[in-house]
Amino acid sequence: MKLDRLTRHAATVLAALAMLLAGCTTYVTTQVTAFSDWSGSDATRTYAFTRTQDQKNNLEQDTYEQIVANELALHAFRQTGERDAHYLVALAYGMRPDTVIVAQPVYYNPWPGPYYWGRPFDPWGPWGPWGPYPTGYVNQSYPVYTHLLAIRITDRATGKEMYNVTARNTDEQSSLIAAMPFLARSAMSDFPLANGAVRTVKLPVDGKGGLSNEVAADSPAPSVPASGAKTVQ
């Protein structure tokens, strides 16, 4: 009987949470770190992608370059052949599995049921003000995955590094391709960031789990200004 009552309570709470979440916007939160010596102008923002030996003839690389190219275009970058490019853009990316451990409370009820008053709110139930009571905690482990994208922009003529930005986020999904639009948008957000900028970017998710076109919210952290770079407010 006690198990049935707890099951009904759990089902009620989960249904309520589902209704609340249905009306809320979900965000992907990404940490961005940038190092910059940017002094370019819109007139010189021609670029070509450069690849390592392992990235050549690679369809995955092609896919990620297209995603990054879309974001670069929003900042007046124009893709050309390597001979005509002012900048070279290199990508590095990856996914790493990990595990998080969360302490979950264990409850007991000093007045076992059944109780029929007060429904659907049972004051003696797990969500009522008088019980049941936590007796301790049990550690639960959950798999998570960290996704990473690094974008490095160098001057083709001199080889000088002009901009190096890394975007990293973690969630329960292992797919790097699903995370890549969020990583690329976050990495290029407010380009160019100041040298040493560290910020958190929150991007809304659409109904299909992809990047939404809604306005993103972000929380920049203090950074060290660099010559020619824009300071994050």
Overall pTM surpassing 0.85 (yes/no): no
**CATH architecture of the domain with residue range 27-118+134-220:** 2-Layer Sandwich (3.30)
d(CA 5, CA 115): 9
Among positive and negative, which fits the CA dihedral 201, 203, 209, 213? Answer: negative
**pLDDT tens digits, residue range 130-173?**
555 566 788 888 889 999 999 999 999 999 999 999 999 998 88
Ranges of each domain in the chain: 27-118+134-220
- 176-223 residue pLDDT tens: 999 999 999 999 999 999 999 999 999 998 877 777 766 554 444 443
